[in-house]
């Protein structure tokens, strides 16, 4: 077949005939694209080519199944693709797909044609349904996938029932991965579970479970008579996003990490036998939560492996150390409970697993220890100068450590809480008469040398104690203290107060061996897509605002609060050499940098560095701290809805005046060092993040996705499918993250505290149309939509919705890193789900009612809080606090109501804008809405909308003819008539919305104006990155602002020169023209006052102080008519000779006119 560029057909199909009759014919799709020239000087004629031919195959099939398939006698492996040249794009072709290694009835047929749906169901045999996802990339990219991979790790034969159609699907225990899909009518993917037991009985159907939301976890209960089968269900999104991975495991799991065979006996007398280094499921028959174990014929005490049915389900099941009274000595039992798994792990003793070491260092009294006030059986007496390694005598009972002095008539004192450091005092008579005979089996700790170093082991010892003493009646003071010695909790009784103070103080850290600080005042990171020749984002880490510090004892600098800082800074700026302050309680002399009240010491004026890292090492511990003073992320895409993506927010006025400035992010970790420790001891880990604003529009999000992930995603599909299948086939022990080996390297955490996180979130689903090229628009957007669809999320706009995440606080935790990560993820996952209501009620459709309620309620809280704080600080502070409270209340009520009013009117304006059906107008309006709320710019926007609405009656049809011919003419006339009414109306509504928004910002005390850190980077035609130039960046940004980016789409910036300061006039030179632009004082915009196109003139010469364009030919009548407008005049007068000479030199250097 011959192709000709003069053909009227945009799409052609080329048929390549095979020379062999046994081979099928091949087809190619040829798409002809007309090259459009924005430069009016390029004449398009019918006698020369002006087209681009794109050659594509008809379709490409990508196999995203866990099995290979056969298409046209070609085997397509997992994650592989095949090009389907055999399909005719002009016909409805039936594509036969055969699944390999499945069953005999494993074929299906899917129709392939040009207008096929995005999702097409493919029926395989009589039982299985798959799906085909179509993407139009010039050819059909057909992704063959299963909506769900059902992974059965239960060793049971499961059955799934669709809730809508009642269709049943059997899942054999030996088939670990099964492809599954729900009925089309079941839009929320709700199913029920059942199981066929080993005795051929079937359980009842479980409650309905939805599979639609990826990331969710839960439990399904199956009953069969007295037998209960709890299944853990975890739904995850696959790495290739189209499939959800549904993993079904036993909810209760036992992991044996010891070297012994363990027999577990449940409260219902059922048994579970677990070999060493193995995993077994637990299927309780009743709600009895008790269990005991038998090792080598020795039975342990009964303990609770789960909460009783009547207990709080969220109650934590505490770990326990079992005393076995045999060669085994002790077994550690730990519980890891998540929403989809309850894992019971048995492991050998390790250092720190003992609940407590109790030491009686008193000289003249014995201490009676018992587990709780009601227990008399599980108690013992500790004689003077004796110690014992203690574990709970009855693990199933209440675990509280009660104590009393033997022979003293007073009742048991308050229990000692072993989870924290504590201390107290008591009194007892001297010579207290007691007669005690105790035989008790206890533990002794020894240290054995192994291949891995020294390890603590336990050995048993028996003691028989018989003592007698008498009392004289005199009272003696005693003390007790609970503290950590390395990893072991120690409870010490003593008569020496100094011993208690020494234990509370802990070990001295000693002199530092290494101490250094690395500081960077500022650092910037630029994200540039050089293939697209655009900068996406700029991340700036900079210094904080000015802070003042006072030098205290030990050369430690303390930051003053904001109130004092503002007073000091005000006087310092006046004249720092002679400035002295005496205002109320503040007395300072800035000439010598000294303060005498309310603090006394040396002053210094400084900043928080952009990034600082402090490292300190001594014999006992390692300290690592990091701070980020201030961070801001700018969206550098043109006409973005939100120019600033992320930036810190100031504290509310209730605390701003009385608190000191803090860096945006501050983190610290302190690690204890000791050769005796078998695990890392992290004494403290803290993270503090200040409140922030996060603003994202769809264009920015898609550009980031394209920048980081999409470039190699297609080539890595095979890797994704293979790794996903490998994970699915892992044994149960390694499969569940909850089942990580307990003997993995462990960490002991004394304290972990992550501060609350508060984010003010805004998201807009629109984006400026020119920010994305067609590839990004089709690939990135589809990927994002697939991801959100898979997560069960509907994408919509939200405006200033507060997301509050509660703090994370953990004390005295022993865990592996994986288990600690699980706890942190569980905390923030729950917090995220809790915040969903904010997103629901924060949708910016008819305004944001959450913003109004938060504003008014916040004002009331401030009025209540600040006066109370002022009373504590004194009379002057009370009056000041009352003033701040009243102002905040005024700002909260007036600003809150005005802000909600602005959003309501803005939402109405959105409706009018969408009715114009003009995408460019909608894009410009979105950009105007997020501009700084200056009334001048709002009036300018209204005037511009009025002007464009009137002129659009003519310009829209002309534009339509140029783009789409006769059809474009009709469409343009419709847009022009509709815009004549709706554009001025929408502009008036936006003017009202902007006025209300200005009122809101004016009445808000903690409003912050954030400006762009720097203009986007200038990238030349070749796309070569060069060092950043602020001049070129400004000139390129200025070109982008002219006529809403119309010039930037055709021209490349070359150079510019400021020719007048007020009002500002700039001579702008591009590769296509010379322009003089003027800044408007009222409307905050730029207008063109003179323009010369290079191709129309021989050159530009200087005549005195006047630039004169020399045209190549006599100007036409239309050109002469244009001379009535100064923009098209042949001459432009400059202000003086110096500027004129500089301007002509710049033009001559930048443009070669060949005069």
Q: For 896-922, how does the pLDDT look when each residue is reduced to its tens digit (9 = 90+)?
A: 444 444 444 454 455 445 555 555 555
- Six-digit token pair at 419? 């989870």
Residue 787 to residue 795: CA distance in whole angstroms? 11
Q: How many helices (H) and strands (E) does the chain have?
A: 17, 68
Q: pLDDT value at position 969?
A: 60
Residue 264 has pLDDT above 90, yes or no: yes
Average pLDDT of the segment spanning 794-811:
76
Buried b (16+ CB within 10 A) or exposed e, 632-666: bbbbbbbbbbbbbbbbbbebbbbebbbeebbbbbb
Q: pLDDT value at position 754?
A: 86
Confidence of residue 235 (pLDDT cuts 50, 70, 90): confident
Residue 438 has pLDDT above 70, yes or no: no
- Six-digit token pair at 802? 């507060």
The radius of gyration computed from the CA coordinates of the chain, to the nearest angstrom, equals 38
Q: pLDDT value at position 373?
A: 60
Most confident by average pLDDT, 54-63, 215-224, 400-409, 733-742: 54-63
Extended beta strands in 269-370, E state: 271-274, 278-282, 290-295, 298-299, 303-304, 320-323, 330-337, 342-348, 356-360, 367-370
Residue 87 to residue 120: CA distance in whole angstroms? 17
Q: How many CB atoms lie within 10 A of CB 173?
A: 14
953: helix, coil or strand? Answer: helix
Q: How far apart are the first and last CA of the chain?
A: 51
Q: How many CB atoms lie within 10 A of CB 56?
A: 16
Q: How many CB atoms lie within 10 A of CB 1010?
A: 16
Q: pLDDT value at position 449?
A: 42
Q: pLDDT value at position 526?
A: 93
Q: Which of 99-108, 133-142, 393-402, 661-670 has the lowest mean pLDDT?
A: 99-108
Q: Which residues contact 262 (CB under 8 A, 6 or more apart)?
A: 256, 273, 274, 293, 294, 295, 346
- The pLDDT mean for the chain works out to 75
Among residues 883, 882, 889, the alpha carbon closest in space to that of 860 is found at 889
CB 613 within 8 A of CB 626: yes
Q: What is the pLDDT of residues 56-110, one digit of tens each?
A: 899 999 999 999 999 998 999 988 999 999 888 888 888 999 998 776 678 889 9
Residue 759 to residue 804: CA distance in whole angstroms? 7
Q: pLDDT value at position 1048?
A: 85
- Six-digit token pair at 439? 């035989």
Q: pLDDT value at position 782?
A: 57
Residue with tokens 């205290």: 552
Residue 591 has pLDDT above 80, yes or no: yes
- For the chain, give the percent of residues with pLDDT over 90: 15
CB 961 within 8 A of CB 972: yes
Q: pLDDT value at position 239?
A: 82
Among residues 606, 605, 575, the alpha carbon closest in space to that of 591 is found at 575
- Six-digit token pair at 51? 């087209």
Q: pLDDT value at position 573?
A: 84
β-bridge partners, 1075: 1068, 1091
Pairing of the two strands 290-295 and 298-299: antiparallel
Q: Which residues contact 1131 (CB under 8 A, 6 or more apart)?
A: 1103, 1106, 1107, 1108, 1109
- The CB-side HSE value for 997 (13 A sphere, CA atoms) comes to 22
Residue 160 has pLDDT above 70, yes or no: yes
Q: 340: exposed, middle or buried (C-beta count within 10 Å: 0-12, 13-18, 19+)?
A: buried
| Crossing angle (nearest 10°) for helices 896-915 and 919-929 | 170
Residue 550 to residue 536: CA distance in whole angstroms? 42
Residue 1033 has pLDDT above 90, yes or no: yes
CA 354 to chain centre: 38
Most confident by average pLDDT, 143-152, 194-203, 231-240, 737-746: 143-152
Cα angle for residues 690, 693, 695 (degrees, 5° grid): 155
Q: Which of 659-663, 774-778, 945-949 has the lowest mean pLDDT?
A: 774-778
Q: Which residues contact 852 (CB under 8 A, 6 or more apart)?
A: 896, 897, 899, 900
Element spanning 701, H or E: helix 698-705
Q: pLDDT value at position 453?
A: 42
Q: Which residues contact 997 (CB under 8 A, 6 or more apart)?
A: 898, 899, 902, 906, 933
Cα angle for residues 451, 457, 461 (degrees, 5° grid): 145
Q: Which of 632-641, 771-780, 1016-1025 has the lowest mean pLDDT?
A: 771-780
Q: What is the pLDDT of residues 1138-1149, one digit of tens each?
A: 999 999 999 888
- Six-digit token pair at 1057? 């020169």
Most confident by average pLDDT, 248-257, 809-818, 857-866, 925-934: 248-257
DSSP 596-607: EESS-EEEEEE-
Confidence of residue 445 (pLDDT cuts 50, 70, 90): very low
CB 203 within 8 A of CB 222: yes
Q: 569: exposed, middle or buried (C-beta count within 10 Å: 0-12, 13-18, 19+)?
A: middle
965: helix, coil or strand? Answer: helix
Residue 760 to residue 643: CA distance in whole angstroms? 15
Residue 581 to residue 579: CA distance in whole angstroms? 7
Pairing of the two strands 148-152 and 244-250: parallel
Residue 404 has pLDDT above 90, yes or no: no
Average pLDDT of the segment spanning 955-960:
63
Residue 778 has pLDDT above 60, yes or no: no
Q: pLDDT value at position 982?
A: 57
CA 666 to chain centre: 18
Q: How many CB atoms lie within 10 A of CB 744?
A: 12
């Amino acid at each position: 077949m011959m192709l000709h560029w003069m053909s009227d057909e945009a799409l052609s199909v080329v048929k390549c005939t095979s020379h062999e009759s046994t081979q099928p014919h091949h087809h190619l799709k040829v798409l002809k694209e007309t090259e459009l020239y924005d430069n009016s000087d390029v004449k398009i004629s019918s006698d020369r080519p002006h087209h681009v031919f794109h050659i594509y195959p008809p379709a490409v099939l990508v196999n995203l199944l866990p099995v290979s398939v056969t298409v046209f006698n070609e085997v397509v492996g997992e994650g592989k693709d095949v090009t389907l040249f055999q399909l005719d794009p002009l016909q409805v072709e039936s594509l036969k797909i055969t699944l390999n290694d499945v069953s005999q009835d494993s074929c299906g047929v899917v129709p392939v044609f040009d207008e096929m749906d995005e999702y097409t169901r493919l029926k395989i045999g009589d039982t299985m349904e798959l799906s085909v996802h179509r993407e139009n990339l010039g050819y059909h990219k057909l992704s063959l996938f299963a909506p769900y991979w059902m992974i059965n790790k239960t060793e049971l034969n499961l059955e799934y029932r669709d809730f809508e159609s009642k269709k049943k699907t059997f899942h054999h225990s030996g088939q670990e991965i099964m492809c599954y899909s729900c009925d089309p009518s079941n839009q929320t993917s709700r199913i029920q579970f059942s199981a066929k037991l080993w005795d051929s009985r079937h359980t009842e159907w479980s409650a309905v479970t939805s599979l639609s939301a990826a990331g969710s976890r839960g439990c399904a209960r199956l009953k069969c008579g007295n037998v209960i089968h709890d299944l853990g269900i975890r739904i995850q999104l696959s790495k290739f996003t189209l499939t959800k991975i549904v993993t079904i495991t036993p909810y209760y799991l036992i992991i044996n990490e010891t070297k012994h065979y363990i027999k577990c006996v449940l409260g219902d007398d059922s048994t579970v036998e677990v070999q060493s280094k193995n995993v077994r499921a637990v299927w309780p028959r009743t709600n009895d939560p008790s269990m005991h174990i038998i090792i080598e014929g020795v039975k342990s005490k009964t303990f609770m492996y789960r909460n009783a049915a009547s207990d709080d389900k969220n109650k934590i099941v505490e770990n326990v150390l079992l005393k076995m009274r045999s060669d085994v000595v002790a077994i550690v039992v730990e519980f890891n409970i998540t929403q989809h798994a309850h894992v019971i792990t048995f492991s050998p003793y390790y250092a720190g697993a003992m609940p407590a070491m109790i030491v009686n260092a008193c000289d003249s009294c014995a201490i009676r220890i018992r587990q709780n006030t009601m227990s008399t059986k599980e108690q013992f007496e500790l004689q003077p100068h004796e110690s014992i390694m203690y574990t709970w005598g009855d693990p199933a009972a209440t675990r509280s450590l009660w104590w009393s002095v033997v022979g003293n008539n007073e009742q048991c004192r308050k229990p000692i809480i072993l989870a924290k450091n504590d201390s107290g005092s008591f009194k007892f008579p001297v010579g207290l008469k007691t007669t005690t005979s105790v035989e008790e089996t206890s533990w002794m700790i020894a240290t054995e040398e192994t291949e891995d170093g020294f390890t603590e082991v336990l050995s048993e010892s028996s003691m028989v104690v018989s003592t007698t003493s008498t009392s004289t009646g005199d009272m003696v003071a005693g003390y007790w203290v609970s503290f950590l010695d390395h990893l072991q909790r120690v409870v010490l009784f003593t008569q020496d107060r100094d011993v208690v103070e020494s234990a509370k103080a802990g070990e001295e850290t000693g002199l530092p061996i290494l101490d250094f600080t690395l500081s960077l005042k500022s650092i910037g990171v630029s994200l540039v897509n050089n293939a697209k020749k655009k900068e996406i984002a700029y991340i700036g880490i900079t210094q904080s605002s000015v802070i003042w510090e006072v030098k205290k004892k030990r050369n430690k600098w303390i930051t003053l609060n904001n109130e004092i800082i503002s007073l000091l800074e005000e006087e310092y700026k006046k004249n720092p050499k002679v400035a002295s302050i005496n205002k109320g309680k503040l007395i300072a002399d800035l000439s010598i940098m000294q303060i005498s009240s309310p603090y006394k010491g040396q002053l210094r004026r400084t900043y928080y560095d952009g990034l600082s890292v402090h490292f300190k090492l001594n014999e006992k511990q390692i300290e690592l701290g990091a701070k980020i003073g201030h961070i801001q992320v700018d969206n550098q895409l043109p006409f973005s809805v939100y120019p600033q993506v992320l930036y810190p927010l100031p504290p509310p006025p209730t605390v701003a005046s009385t608190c000191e400035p803090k860096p945006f992010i501050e983190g610290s970790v302190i690690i204890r060092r000791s050769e005796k420790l078998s695990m890392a001891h992290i004494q403290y880990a803290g993270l503090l993040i200040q409140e922030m604003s996060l603003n994202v529009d769809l264009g920015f999000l898609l550009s980031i996705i394209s920048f980081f992930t999409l470039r190699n995603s297609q080539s890595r599909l095979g890797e994704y499918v293979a790794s996903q299948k490998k994970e699915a086939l892992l044994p149960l022990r390694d499969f569940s993250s909850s089942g990580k080996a307990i003997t993995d390297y462990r960490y002991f955490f004394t304290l972990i505290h992550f501060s609350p996180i508060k984010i003010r979130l805004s998201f807009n689903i629109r984006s400026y149309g020119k920010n994305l090229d067609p590839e990004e628009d089709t690939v990135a957007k589809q990927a994002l939509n697939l991801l959100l669809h898979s997560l069960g999320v509907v994408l919509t706009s939200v405006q200033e919705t507060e997301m509050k995440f509660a703090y994370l606080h953990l004390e005295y935790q022993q865990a592996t890193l994986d288990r600690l990560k699980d706890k942190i993820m569980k905390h923030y996952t729950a917090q995220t789900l809790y915040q969903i209501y904010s997103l629901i009620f924060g949708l910016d459709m008819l305004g944001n009612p959450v913003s109004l309620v938060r504003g008014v309620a916040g004002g009331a809280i401030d009025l209540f809080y600040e006066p109370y704080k002022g009373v504590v600080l004194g009379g002057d502070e009370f009056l000041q606090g009352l003033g701040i409270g009243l102002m905040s209340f005024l700002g909260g009520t007036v600003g809150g109501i005005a802000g909600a009013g602005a959003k309501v009117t803005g939402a109405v304006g959105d409706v009018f804008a969408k009715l114009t059906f003009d995408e460019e107008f909608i894009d410009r309006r979105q950009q105007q809405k997020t501009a700084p709320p200056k009334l001048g710019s709002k009036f300018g926007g209204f005037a511009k909308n009025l002007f464009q609405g009137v002129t659009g009656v003519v310009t829209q049809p002309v534009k339509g003819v140029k783009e789409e011919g006769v059809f474009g003419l009709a469409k343009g006339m419709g847009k022009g008539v509709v815009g004549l009414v709706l554009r001025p109306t929408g502009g008036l509504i936006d003017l009202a919305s902007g006025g209300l928004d200005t009122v809101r910002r004016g009445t808000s005390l903690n409003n912050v104006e954030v400006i762009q850190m720097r203009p986007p980077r200038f990238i030349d035609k070749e796309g070569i990155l060069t060092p950043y130039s602020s001049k070129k960046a400004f000139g390129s940004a200025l070109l982008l602002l002219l006529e809403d980016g119309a010039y930037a789409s055709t021209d490349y910036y070359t150079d510019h020169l400021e020719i007048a300061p007020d009002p500002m006039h700039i001579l702008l030179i591009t590769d296509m023209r010379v322009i003089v632009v003027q800044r408007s004082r009222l409307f905050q915009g730029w207008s063109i006052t003179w323009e010369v196109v290079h191709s129309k003139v021989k050159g530009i010469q200087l005549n005195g102080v006047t630039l004169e364009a020399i045209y190549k030919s006599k100007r036409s009548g239309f050109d002469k008519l244009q001379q009535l407008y100064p923009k098209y005049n042949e001459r432009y007068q400059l202000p003086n000779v110096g500027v004129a000479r500089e301007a002509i030199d710049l033009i001559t250097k930048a443009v070669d006119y060949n005069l």
